[in-house]
Each structure stands twice: as structure tokens, then as C-alpha cells.
Structure 1
Amino acid sequence: MTIPVIQWHAAAWQQLQASRQQQRLPHALLLSGESGTGKAAFAAQVAASLLCEQPAADGRACGTCQACQRVAADTHPDRFRLAPEEPGKPIKVDAIRQLIQDLSLTGHYGRYRVVLLEPAEVMNANAANAFLKTLEEPPANTLLILITAAPARLPATIRSRCQPLRLKSPDRAAAAAWLSQEFSDSSRAEIELALRLAGGAPLLAARYLREEWLAARRRLLQALVNCATGHTSPLEAAGVATQLLKLDRQLPIYWMYYWVADFIRLAYDDNNIKNNDMTSDLQKLPKPVEPKALHQLLGKLQQARRLTESTVNPQLLWEDLMIDWSSLFAGQRG
């Protein structure tokens, strides 16, 4: 059974397979596109296609041969993955040197070798310089796939030595149709909400549905309401937030940021808020609140997002944010 290609990747897939049939595959591919559009999934399918023992006529991997089984088990010796040791950390030069050493050896199966590097833009300067040497003298029968949502952050010397391929985002109707097929148990309202929160990115919306992020977000926003009205202390609200960090370090920051932004926006246009499924909860928040203080909190949340990529103590970070949030409404609680 061949592995299907996501529908909005079809044009890029056909373009790449045409190059393959003409024996004009590049040695390095710069795969870019908006976050949540499936760049990693597309790159993985390209890798599976090149490693497959019996690909279909359109290039798709068969999904059943020994090579495909090894790919699925993440044990294929001719597929290499490079990523930061921890989220938010850079890809270091030692990892690139190890890759160069591995690629200097003969491939195990005599077919292609494929390198998946994501996110490519987080290579530090030494790593990028070492990787540049590989791009300048590429190994035979090897495809280097650099995956990024921010190609401009890569050095120009690296970009110029890769063939660019940008994946387009699907329109909202196509994304909703795909999600409805993938998550048949989810309601239309849940799918639309997930898509809106994901900024229209279907694979990010899929994570909202698959990993129960919608319920987690609601727990955080309800804690914000309770904190503002005095039913929950800032420390208790911070505890809710830190529990949610197990899902993702930055998502709770985004959720709170858009919640504060919606509270500001609510005074001007209640038809254009991101959290429109919780409009009634927003309207329960005590008023009036000094707009300047709200904008200052937005700035602090932006800074907090950057701090989550460091060694900052998350509990202390969230306690500080919740104390600031609670203090905005102290005068209205009586």
C-alpha cells in the first residue's frame, strides 16, 4: 500500500519526481513554508521514496518493503536526522562533523542516502560553516534536505547552494476538508476553532485535535478568568500554566498573549477576536482596566516567549505573569 501524499503537496511532489525521472535531483533541497503546513511530513515522504525498493510509478514509497519497514521504524541506516539536542537549542558543529563522517562511508543499500535537517536555521555559526563544506563537495547519491520556516535566517552561502522548494499553504476550505476526513469524530466547530488557533496551518490544527490542546487551552483561559475575578490566586493560576508546559513550552504563552490582546480588542470590535468561542468569558472580566498596563503585559509576554528558550525557571516566570495579570483587576474586585 503506497503512502499517500497530502493533497496540497501534490504540485511540489510532481515537480520533484519529474526531476528524479530526468535524473536531475539536486544534491541539496531547501524546503520551506509556513509552520504547520507539513514540511517535515513531505521531507519524510521524499526520503521514503528514495529509499524504497519498489516505489510506485508516481514515486510514492510502497510502505511494505524491507526498506520502508526500516524507515517506519526509524532504523534505516541510510536516512539521517539532524535536530537540536533539546527544543530551542542550536544544532552544533559536533553533530555536523558526525554527519560528515557518516556520509564519507559507503551507503548500506547502494541507493540514495537522505539527510533531514530541521529546523535548518538553528545551526550555529560553526555548524553552518562545517555544513557548507558538505554542500560545496556533496557526496554522491545523497540528498540533503534542509527544512525551515525561516529560510532568510540561513546564511546566504548555504541558501545559494540549495535548490529552493516552497510548500504552499492550503486554503481554509481544503484544510477543513482534510481535517474533517482525518478527525471524523471532531465537530465542525472544533475543526474551525483548531484551524483559527493554528493560523490556518492544517498540521498544527491537527495537533490541537489529536493532542487535546483545545481542552488544555480552555483550562488556562478559565484560570485567567478566575484569577482576574479573585476566585483563583495568581500562584494557583501559575500552577495550571506550568502543568501545561508538558504539552509545549511556548503554547501557553501564545494562549495568554492572544487572550490579553482580545481583552484589549473587545472594547473596539467584538467580531474580530481570536478566542471567539470564549467571548462570554472575556466579557466577564472586570472593567475598566488601564490600556497602557495591558499593552505592557503584552510586551512582557513577548519577552517571556523568548525566555522559554533559555534556562529560566518556568514556575517563577508564570508566577510573575499571573501576579501582573491579577494586579490589573485589583481595583475592580473591591
Structure 2
Amino acid sequence: MTIPVSQWHVNAWQQLQAGRRQQRLPHALLVSGEAGIGKAAFADRLAASLLCEQPREDGQACGTCPACQRLAAQTHPDRLRLEPEEPGKPIKVDMVRQLIQHLSLTGHYGGYRVVTVEPAEMMNTNAANAFLKTLEEPPASTLLILITASPARLPATIRSRCQPMRLTSPDPQTALAWLQQEAPDSAPQEAELALRLAAGAPRLAAHYLREGWLEVRQQLIEALIGCAHGRTDPLAAAATAQEALKLDRQLPIHWMYHWVADLIRLAYDENNIKNNDMTGELQALPTPVEYSALHHLLDKLQQARRLTETTINPQLLWEDLMIDWAGLFSARRV
């Protein structure tokens, strides 16, 4: 049986549908939760429910009425999205002004208008200030859905004017069953690994499998191992990492951060590391390593995750990280 994404958010769904029946829906929702748990899918289902001409008893859209057909074709004029022009870029004030102008007009079908803002924390300061005015004077019959994995990065003035709704991950069995349904060609151990790397977030795990991220991860750790043993030049290892960075601005740095953290954990408990599928590779690195140097590299990786959101040259960023990584082991190779 097909497992809908909304199955693990059923309590949140029922809460909103109860508010709808009582005509007490908020004008703005702040939907938060870890990346990859289905926040956007939840918002899409809610939008479809509100725009559907014949919703089912449980609030789900019928999928067949003219409004649902327009939604499926992405041509419904009352379904609006505010998002960056490119991943990682900010949502700018001009985009918010265009949205405000659109909302000042009467809706096309006399029902709800639904706006999603994702990722909401990517609104720059001017955009957030402009959007705040809409929250303070919301248009009639309009639901604004702000979607974010980092609600603390939103201004407090915006958070305070939205009804918070935090979504959670499904239980491991449900998540794995859904993932195997979404990626039937993946081996069970690959699905389990992807789900663990995604911290239990099934849609993020599906992205890892679909986009070949497990292979990219393996290539990156092999570059790091080669660099540690002196078989790979740090600049060549940086080139491998930079290719991965083109696919995702932060994920390669996120993984390297946890590999370095696992080197520290290995000194205390080898059964408590995040990348337990790579225990052997990590244990085979030249030792001993100064823990102060490992902690220093952790700090640099944490800073690098923030720098990826700026205009920094990724090649220089990775070359600096790889030179530091190689330096950890240069005096300990045999």
C-alpha cells in the first residue's frame, strides 16, 4: 500500500482541519522541522485542500476537480510561491513586493489564496521587513505558510505573527518502509545507510539515493584517506570536494565535519560514532593525532558551513581545509 507523506504528520493535519471546520484557520503558519521530513509536501497538501472545490471528509483534496487539475498543471492563479531564484540565494525585497502587489488584487476564484515561503529564513533583511507588513495586515482569505528548518534565523517579529507548527520525523520503521517504496532499486542496506545519514528524515534520504550521494560520499572519504596517507595531493583532494560542492553547498562540509568529530569520538567509544559504516577506514588513519588540532579543524569546518552562504571562492575554501587535514597526519605517516 502506498504510504502518503502526510501519514506521519496526521496530528498536525487533523489540528488544521479542525480549525478549518470552525473557521479558525490562522492567517500565517510557521512550519518548521528537520530538513527532509516532508514540510513542503505537507504545505502542498494543505494548499490543495484549501483550493479544492470538493475536498474529502478528512480534508484531503479530491484530485479531480478543475481546481485540482490546475494545481497539478501548476497553473492555479491562487497558489503562490516565494522562493530564491537559485538554491542558496536570498529572497529579495523586489520579490516580496511583487507578491504584495499580487495579493492586493481580488482572488481569481473567490476562495482561499495560499502562499508558501521556502526557505523562509532566506529572506534578506529588506525582504523580511516588507513581508512583515503583510503579516501585520494580512489579506482576507489568504494563508501564508512559512517553511523553514531554521526558525531561529527568522526575525522574532515574523515568528511572533505566525502560528507555529513543528513537524517531526516518522518512526524508523515507517520511514524505512516509505523510503524502500520511493527507491525500490536501492539495496536495503543502502536505504538504511541513507536514512541514518539523513538523521531519520525520509525525503532527505530519498534525495541521497536518487542523486547518487552515497557514491559522492564514498569518493570524498577516499580523497580524505588518500590525502591523510600522502597518496593524494591536498589540492587534488580539494578538487574532488569542490565537485561535490557543486551539487550541494553544505553537505560535503557537513560530512567532513562529522568524520573529524568521529576521529575524536574513537578515542572514547568506537561504538558511538556517527559514521559507523566507516569505522575501519577511520581507525586506519595515521595516528596519533593531536586532539587540539582536530578541534581546531572542527571550528574551521563550522565556519566554512557559514561561509558557503557567502560569495567565497569554494576552491580556495576547500584547498585551505584539505591542507589543514593533510597537516594533521604529515608527521605520522610510516
TM class, shorter-length: over 0.9
Contact 1:3 1:62 (C-alpha < 8 Å) held by counterparts: no
Residues 1:320 and 2:320 are matched in the alignment: yes
Give the 5 Å matches for 1:94-113. Answer: 94-113=94-113
Could you list the per-position Cα deviations for residues 4-25 of structure 1 after superposition, in whole angstroms to 9, with x for gaps in the alignment? 4521111111111121122222
SS in 2 for 1:287: coil
Contact 2:239 2:315 (C-alpha < 8 Å) held by counterparts: yes
Shift of 1:3: 10
The equivalent of 1:329 in structure 2 is 329
The equivalent of 2:160 in structure 1 is 160
Could you list the per-position Cα deviations for residues 227-259 of structure 1 after superposition, in whole angstroms to 9, with x for gaps in the alignment? 111221111111111111232111110111111
Shift of 1:136: 2.2
In structure 1, give the amino acid aligned to 2:264.
Answer: I
Contact 1:3 1:61 (C-alpha < 8 Å) held by counterparts: no
Give the 5 Å matches for 1:217-296. Answer: 217-296=217-296
The equivalent of 2:174 in structure 1 is 174
Shift of 1:286: 1.1
Q: Tell me, which stretches of 5 or more residues in structure 1 are unaligned?
A: none
SS in 2 for 1:146: strand
The equivalent of 2:30 in structure 1 is 30
Of stretches 69-78 and 292-301 in structure 1, the one that deviates more from structure 2 is 69-78
Shift of 1:144: 0.8
SS in 1 for 2:331: helix
Shift of 1:169: 2.4
Work out the CA distance in 2 between the residues paired with 1:287 and 1:186. Answer: 36
Contact 2:82 2:115 (C-alpha < 8 Å) held by counterparts: yes
Work out the CA distance in 2 between the residues paired with 1:298 and 1:11. Answer: 39
SS in 2 for 1:194: helix
Q: Give the alignment's Cα RMSD to 1 decimal.
A: 2.0
Q: Tell me, which stretches of 5 or more residues in structure 2 are unaligned?
A: none
The equivalent of 1:82 in structure 2 is 82
In structure 1, give the amino acid aligned to 2:31.
Answer: L
In structure 2, give the amino acid aligned to 1:97.
Answer: R
The equivalent of 1:16 in structure 2 is 16
Give the 5 Å matches for 1:132-151. Answer: 132-151=132-151
Quick one: structure 1 residues 262 and 4, their matched pair in 2 at CA, closer, same or farther if it must change by over 3 Å?
Answer: closer
Identity of aligned residues (%): 75
Shift of 1:57: 2.0
Contact 1:91 1:122 (C-alpha < 8 Å) held by counterparts: yes
In structure 2, give the amino acid aligned to 1:43.
Answer: A
In structure 1, give the amino acid aligned to 2:57.
Answer: A
Quick one: structure 1 residues 49 and 5, their matched pair in 2 at CA, closer, same or farther if it must change by over 3 Å?
Answer: farther
Contact 1:33 1:39 (C-alpha < 8 Å) held by counterparts: yes
In structure 2, give the amino acid aligned to 1:15.
Answer: Q
The equivalent of 2:308 in structure 1 is 308
Of stretches 2-11 and 102-111 in structure 1, the one that deviates more from structure 2 is 2-11
Work out the CA distance in 2 between the residues paired with 1:62 and 1:202. Answer: 25
Residues 1:66 and 2:66 are matched in the alignment: yes
In structure 2, give the amino acid aligned to 1:241.
Answer: A
Work out the CA distance in 1 between the residues paired with 2:171 and 2:315. Answer: 39
SS in 1 for 2:64: coil
In structure 2, give the amino acid aligned to 1:314.
Answer: P
